[in-house]
């Protein structure tokens, strides 16, 4: 169906031409899923864009051919390519919320796509759209088709995106990271759906992802890319089951295992701090070093009285939200995000918090740090009852002692401020250090502590990669001298190798400074590597809690067993 031969793509920059993809070959047969896997910058999305004819203006195909059947896609005129794109080739983008028009109903978007490429009566198109939504598992499709995208859950929105890709009966679908933002339950549904559609409709699918577990679960063929070049290609069971190239072997070794807990993740490449980082020149205070930051952190004062063995103790916590009225005299509905949640987190341990999207994980974290007000219940930190968020003043010791590392490193740092100023801000806000020179010394030293050059304090966040930004976010949280660190999906947006680096960093910091960590993730394999204890949330309620090893070896609740069963695993290819 698809034959890519010797494809090379160059991007024109102010520094000259850069080769993004070089001499890539791949084929896709009808009903086959071909996985493209590799780190960020490997060229996966560039290959997909070249096939779709969606390369940006600053790029060009310098060599090779792309044939869909007997059609050479690279020789088509813009008008011919427009007719092929959407009709014979469709694309599923990563984020369904940004790939759907929020001002149009699902029906309007489906009809627009079908009527653009097919000459059919509008009534027939509407019937086809409803049937397609029903086939994709959307209940009451005849009513739901009138809804807007924001009225669907993340998984349902992704099904709508798949419906848009299928409504013109394409021969090939390019799926670019279609499950990255989804929890394990919804991810399993989407992957099963893609597998079923490939077999039932004989559609060829190119699945682009950095999640090797996803590739192992659904793909027939796999191509491993690095720096725009093919490292290894072939049957999935052969390439992932018995990798021949050192890079593929390292990539596989960096994947967290659900079946066992590792003390440290193997490092497949040199850490980012070891790579060349172009830092701006600028003076640094004397005495800057990782040891200086470590010594300063170990001297952190304890301002909370009545310490007990429990760092965090939640009792009967409720958080509810009031939905807006649909009619004038209608009583507003109350939605419980958390209901009677009680947990205990011992000092110096890591508590893993798992559950699907909407289970209340992030709401619980926000309630602890004071960003959400509980409706009922009590939060105790080191023996002291914490006031609700709106009444918790800035000078409250818990504001400093509880710090948070957010999911997206690209939005959690202020791009208008230099790194030195970002790291110095907690020292100013919490009144920890009044001397400006000492603040710069600490900021530079904490960069060294998390594995980045001290001179990086003169740079801006946009000059760092995703993994480096997340290191900076960890440094910003640590410089406040916290006793409790809340990590909300800190590695979900990172490649497997960068994820291993960040997880190793968190492990080292936790052991070295006896930090208490609440680690939130929908990736159970990552949670196993990090956590001493586990708490499982479903629909805002705790369904199971206990030691990590007991949970993974013998889960008690049916929902816990379901989550473990749905988690992608490398066992399939390892045993083949």
Residue 556 pLDDT > 80, yes or no? yes
Q: How many CA atoms, within 13 angstroms, populate the side-chain half-sphere of residue 272? A: 26
Residue 420 pLDDT > 50, yes or no? yes
DSSP-assigned letter for residue 287: T
How far apart are the two ends of the chain, measured CA to CA in Å? Answer: 27
Percent of the chain at pLDDT exceeding 70: 91
Sign of CA dihedral 181, 183, 185, 186: negative
Q: Do strands 59-68 and 71-72 pair parallel, antiparallel, or not at all (unpaired)?
A: antiparallel
Sign of CA dihedral 399, 402, 407, 411: positive
Please count the other Cβ atoms lying within 10 Å of the Cβ belonging to residue 276.
5
Residue 305 pLDDT > 50, yes or no? no
Q: How many CA atoms, within 13 angstroms, populate the side-chain half-sphere of residue 45? A: 13
List CB contacts of 442: < 8 A, sequence separation 6 or more: 292, 293, 296, 423, 424, 427, 433, 479
List CB contacts of 343: < 8 A, sequence separation 6 or more: 312, 313, 314, 351, 535, 542, 545
Residue 302 pLDDT > 80, yes or no? no
Structure-block tokens of residue 347: 């000092």
Query: Among all chains, which residue has been given the structure tokens 């003390």?
Result: 263
Buried b (16+ CB within 10 A) or exposed e, 179-193: bebbbbbbbbbbbeb
pLDDT band, very low/low/confident/very high, at 332 (cuts 50, 70, 90): low
DSSP string for 254-267: TSPPSS---SS---
User: How would you class 99 by CB atoms within 10 Å of its CB: exposed for 0-12, middle for 13-18, buried for 19 or more?
Assistant: middle
Distance CA 220, CA 179 (A): 18
For residues 546-575, give the mean pLDDT. 83
Q: Do strands 484-488 and 376-381 pair parallel, antiparallel, or not at all (unpaired)?
A: unpaired
DSSP-assigned letter for residue 305: -
Chain segment 60-116, per-residue pLDDT in tens: 899 999 999 889 999 988 888 888 888 899 998 877 777 899 999 999 999 999 998
Residue 306 pLDDT > 50, yes or no? no
Distance CA 514, CA 519 (A): 15
Distance from chain centroid for Cα 452: 22
Helix (H) or strand (E) holding 184: helix 184-201
In the chain, how long is the greatest CA-to-CA distance? 76
User: What are the backbone angles phi and psi of residue 68, rounded to the nearest 5°?
Assistant: -105, 105
Query: Among all chains, which residue has been given the structure tokens 């005495």?
Result: 287
Structure-block tokens of residue 406: 């957010």
Chain segment 522-534, per-residue pLDDT in tens: 888 889 989 999 9
Structure-block tokens of residue 339: 């209901």
User: What are the backbone angles phi and psi of residue 43, rounded to the nearest 5°?
Assistant: 105, 10
List CB contacts of 209: < 8 A, sequence separation 6 or more: 35, 36, 37, 44, 177, 178, 179, 180, 215
Please count the other Cβ atoms lying within 10 Å of the Cβ belonging to residue 267.
15
Q: What pLDDT does residue 525 have? A: 86
CA dihedral 193, 199, 203, 206 (to 10 degrees): 60
- Higher pLDDT residue, 130 or 359? 130
Distance CA 166, CA 141 (A): 16
Please count the other Cβ atoms lying within 10 Å of the Cβ belonging to residue 352.
24
Sign of CA dihedral 59, 65, 69, 72: positive
Chain segment 34-60, per-residue pLDDT in tens: 999 988 778 898 999 999 988 888 888
Chain segment 194-249, per-residue pLDDT in tens: 888 889 889 999 999 888 888 888 999 999 999 899 999 999 999 998 999 998 98
Q: Provide the 3-class DSSP secondary structure of residue 297.
A: helix
Please count the other Cβ atoms lying within 10 Å of the Cβ belonging to residue 507.
18
Domains of the chain: 2-253 (3.40.50.300), 290-323+332-574 (3.40.50.300)
Cα three-residue angle 434-437-441, rounded to 5 degrees: 105
Contact (CB, 8 A) for 270 and 451: no
Averaged pLDDT score across all residues of the chain: 85
């Amino acid at each position: 169906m698809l034959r890519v031969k010797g494809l090379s793509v160059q991007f024109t920059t102010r520094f000259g031409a850069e080769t993004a993809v070089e001499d890539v070959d791949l084929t896709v047969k009808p009903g086959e899923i071909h996985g493209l896997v590799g780190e960020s910058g490997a060229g996966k999305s560039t290959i997909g864009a070249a096939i779709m004819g969606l390369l940006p203006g600053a790029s060009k195909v310098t060599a090779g051919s792309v044939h869909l059947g007997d059609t050479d896609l690279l020789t088509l005129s813009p008008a011919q390519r427009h007719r092929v794109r959407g009709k014979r080739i469709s694309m599923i983008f990563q984020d369904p919320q940004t790939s759907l028009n929020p001002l149009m109903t699902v029906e309007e978007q489906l009809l627009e796509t079908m009527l653009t490429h097919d000459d059919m009566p509008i009534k027939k198109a509407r019937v086809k759209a409803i049937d397609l939504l029903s086939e994709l598992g959307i209940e009451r499709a005849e009513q739901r088709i009138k809804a807007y995208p924001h009225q669907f859950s993340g998984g349902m929105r992704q099904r709508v995106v798949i419906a848009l890709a299928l409504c013109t009966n394409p021969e090939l679908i390019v799926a670019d990271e279609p499950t990255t933002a989804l929890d394990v339950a919804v991810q399993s549904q989407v992957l099963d759906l893609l597998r079923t559609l490939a077999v039932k409709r004989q559609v060829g699918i190119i699945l682009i992802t950095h999640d090797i577990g996803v590739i192992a679960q659904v793909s027939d063929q796999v191509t491993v890319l690095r720096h725009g070049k093919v490292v290894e290609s072939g049957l999935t069971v052969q390439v992932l089951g018995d990798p021949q190239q050192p890079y593929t072997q390292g990539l596989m070794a960096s994947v967290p295992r659900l079946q066992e807990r590792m003390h440290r993740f193997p490092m497949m490449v040199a850490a980012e701090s070891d790579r060349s980082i172009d830092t701006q020149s600028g003076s640094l205070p004397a005495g800057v070093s990782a040891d200086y930051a470590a010594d300063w952190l170990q001297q952190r004062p304890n301002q909370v009285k009545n310490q007990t063995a429990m760092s965090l103790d939640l009792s009967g916590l409720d958080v509810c939200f009031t939905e807006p009225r649909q009619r004038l005299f209608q009583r507003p509905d109350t939605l419980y995000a958390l209901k009677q949640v009680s947990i205990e987190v011992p000092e110096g341990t890591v508590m893993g918090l798992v559950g699907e999207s909407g289970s209340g994980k992030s709401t619980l974290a926000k309630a602890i740090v004071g960003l959400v007000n509980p409706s009922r219940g009590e939060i105790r930190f080191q023996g002291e009852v914490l006031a609700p968020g709106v009444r918790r003043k800035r000078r409250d010791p818990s504001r400093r002692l509880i710090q948070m590392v957010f999911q997206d490193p690209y939005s959690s740092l202020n791009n208008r401020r230099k790194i030195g100023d970002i790291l110095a801000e907690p020292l100013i806000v919490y009144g920890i250090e009044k001397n400006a020179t000492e603040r710069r010394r600490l900021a530079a030293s904490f960069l060294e502590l998390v594995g980045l050059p001290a001179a990086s304090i003169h740079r801006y966040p946009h000059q760092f990669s995703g993994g480096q930004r997340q290191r900076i976010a960890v440094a910003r949280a640590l410089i406040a001298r916290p006793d409790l660190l809340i990590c909300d999906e800190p590695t979900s947006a990172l490649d497997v190798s960068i994820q291993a680096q960040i997880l190793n960093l968190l492990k080292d910091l936790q052991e070295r400074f006896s930090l208490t960590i609440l680690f939130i993730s929908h990736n159970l394999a990552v949670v196993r590597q990090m956590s001493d204890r586990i708490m499982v949330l479903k629909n805002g309620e705790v369904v199971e809690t206990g030691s990590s090893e007991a949970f993974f070896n013998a889960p008690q609740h049916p929902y816990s067993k379901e989550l473990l069963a749905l988690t992608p695993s490398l066992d399939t290819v390892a045993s083949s």
